[in-house]
Amino acid sequence: MNKLLYGVAYYYEYLPYDRLDEDIKMMKAAGINVVRIAESTWSTYEKQEGQFDFSTVIKVLDAMEEAGIDVIIGTPTYAVPSWLVKMDPTVLAVTHQGEGVYGARQIMDITNPNYLKYGERVIRKLLEVCRDRKCIIGFQLDNETKYYDTAGPNVQAAFVEYLKEKFNGSTDAMNAAFGLDYWSNRVDNWEDFPDVRGTINGSLGAEFDKFRRGLVTEFLTWQSNIVKEYARPDQFITHNLDFEWRGYSYGVQPANNHFEIAKEALTVAGCDIYHPTQDELTGAEIAFGGDMTRSLKQNNYFVLETEAQGYPCWTPYPGQLRQQAFSHVASGAALVEYWHWHSIHNSFETYWRGLLSHDFKENHVYCEAKTIGRDFAALSPALCNLKKENKVAMVVSNDALSALDWFRIDTTAEGPGKTGYNDVVRWMYDALYKMNVEVDFIEPSCKDMDRYQMVIVPALYAACEADLQRMKQYVADGGYLITTFKTAYTDENVKVYHDAFPHVLSECLGISYSNFTFPKNVKLSGTADEQAELFMELVKPEGADVLVSYDHYAWKDYAAVTRNHYGKGIAQYLGCKTSEKYLQKLLADAMKEAGIADTVQNTEFPVIVRRMKDENGKRVWFYFNYSHTPAEAVYAGADGVYLMKEDQTFPGINVAAGEKLALGSWDVQIIREK
């Protein structure tokens, strides 16, 4: 990209009256230089089967082209027309909840032949209209594609074929791998395969989830191949990947595999990030989603959707919209795009408000966007194509996530627990974020882990032998590995290993354990009042140093935190969850030991420091104050010059190494080293 992209999703089709010219005028005034269109309105373009009408698309393209605003075309397949469902009701996914019923988006069986047939046709018709359009800079495939719990007969039949292949046709192999002797669940004839929706076998269930994540990759690759037939070389193909949703973008997505999709189907990674604001704005979700999406292709990425006003609880305080925009840039975003331009006047997302409120007037949020647009334009030369050079990586895994969904950490005989994989991932990520340690994300199968000086592995519950061996080798070769309870407990089929735990890693960690429990009133030894939380393994040191143990008469002989020298490296183990603060202390000590401690760790949340390297190899420092209360921070870079301060770009003021920075309410300051 040769400029910072500042965009909105634009729905001309949803307007209560035609105000295209007025909208464009207001966009220009706000520095909006890109719009995403078309991804939600199949039924507008094909009102009845085979009757195509792209007049609204053409009209918007004409107007944008004239206005000099770039366009991203979304393929309109994530919500299906009523006529298609009337024609073939099996277009709707059969799920664990039973037959589907028309209404919402993202309720299709993404393998349904009619859905694919008519979907392909509308995509091709749209792309024909879009061909040769200068203003179109790229394409978004579908939107937030997941497998939507599709589990109908055809999907299950395909799953059985997949299993046949996986197990070379041997039901015995499957029965052994999944432990189907249990509760008389064996399948000794593929014809007998029962409805997988009823299974109580987590190995089978997690495999079905993995299989269905594969369907998403297939689907998006299929779309990508169609789009490639029409796209120019300068046009990108992206997708709006989303995260585990807990009322906001929380963690690793269970229902698709970001890494695979990015590799197979995309030229630029993209995502949406929604997050709390007002007093709950911390920047953590922006950083998490950004770090994750940047890691997919190890390059700059698009924030294809983020909130302008969003739900009423998210109406930003003055300064927050601006701070958020630069937070994305500070993680490597090449595009910050709001969902959406105008608040919609009907239906489900009426209160998921855009830059413009329902009255279309200039409001305080839109007015703040204007300053962002202005500064994005001014700072584009300086902030384009910034890169990160992180020393720390975190391993994340869809398979571990699915497995821990089946085996929630806090499950008891009273019923399933609530705590899963992402709780542990975010516990560690947030601790690092708030102590100003930046990370990349990598897959368990990562072959060049030694790019990083420290690798952090939260709760990698399900992992294959080969991946674990590679981690062990990473330590032997001089790496610093930190891992936690629940890691390496089962294999890739969610079958618990049957030797010392953590399987394979036991040796490099210098520990093993046989039992575990939930801690109640278990203090960590040598602390004032730090408690073991959530889960504790009764770890026996076998060569490792015991950094912390338990102050409890029953568990006093076990280790809570250990460290072990192995080969040229060091491996640390956390046998229980702790407070975020205490985890930060442990991590800080480990970083010192690993020789990667940094002066920015003297600064801590709510002041957040993010570092990039620009195209000339110069460091660019972002200082954020995620608070209304003004704060101070010591500038940790070499002598530099302000790119932005007090909402002014290019103030040209010098900053000396070690100088004290005064940060205002919800402030962001940007400094480039000289």
State the Cα–Cα distance between residues 674 and 672, nearest whole angstrom: 6
Q: 142 vs 260, which CB is nearer to a second copy?
A: 142
Q: Would you give the distance in Å from CA 112 to the centre of its chain? A: 27
Q: How far is the CB of 180 from a second copy (least distance, A)?
A: 8
State the Cα–Cα distance between residues 46 and 534, nearest whole angstrom: 52
Q: Which two tokens stand for residue 573?
A: 């183990």
Task: Enumerate residues 6+ apart whose C-beta is below 8 A from 127.
Answer: 73, 226, 227, 229, 230
Cβ neighbour number for residue 499 with a 10 Å cutoff:
8
- Strand boundaries in 184-227, DSSP class E: none
Q: 44 vs 217, which CB is nearer to a second copy?
A: 44
Q: How far is the CB of 603 from a second copy (least distance, A)?
A: 24
Q: 259 vs 535, which CB is nearer to a second copy?
A: 535
Q: 288 vs 501, which CB is nearer to a second copy?
A: 501
Q: 366 vs 621, which CB is nearer to a second copy?
A: 366
State the Cα–Cα distance between residues 478 and 483, nearest whole angstrom: 16
Q: At which residue do the structure tokens 């690798």 appear?
A: 455
Q: 74 vs 479, which CB is nearer to a second copy?
A: 74
Taking CB atoms within 8 Å and a gap of at least 24, the contacts of 25-28 are: 26/356, 26/362, 26/366, 27/67, 27/69, 27/341, 28/67, 28/69
State the Cα–Cα distance between residues 108 and 42, nearest whole angstrom: 14
Q: 116 vs 594, which CB is nearer to a second copy?
A: 116
If DSSP codes are grouped into helix, strand and coil, which group holds residue 609? Answer: strand
Q: How far is the CB of 358 from a second copy (least distance, A)?
A: 5
If DSSP codes are grouped into helix, strand and coil, which group holds residue 607? Answer: strand
Q: How far is the CB of 51 from a second copy (least distance, A)?
A: 9
Q: How far is the CB of 57 from a second copy (least distance, A)?
A: 13
Q: How far is the CB of 651 from a second copy (least distance, A)?
A: 25
Give whole-number Cα distances, 30 to 11, 355, 395, in Å. Answer: 17, 10, 39
Q: 467 vs 491, which CB is nearer to a second copy?
A: 491
Q: How far is the CB of 144 from a second copy (least distance, A)?
A: 12
User: b or e along 308-346 (b: 16 or more beta carbons within 10 Å of the residue's beta carbon)?
Assistant: bbbbeebbbeebbbbbbbbbbbbbbbbbbbbbbbbbbee
Q: How far is the CB of 297 from a second copy (least distance, A)?
A: 28
Q: 554 vs 656, which CB is nearer to a second copy?
A: 554
Half-sphere exposure of 211 toward its Cβ, with a 13 Å CA cutoff?
24
Q: How far is the CB of 453 from a second copy (least distance, A)?
A: 32
Task: Enumerate residues 6+ apart whose C-beta is below 8 A from 183.
Answer: 200
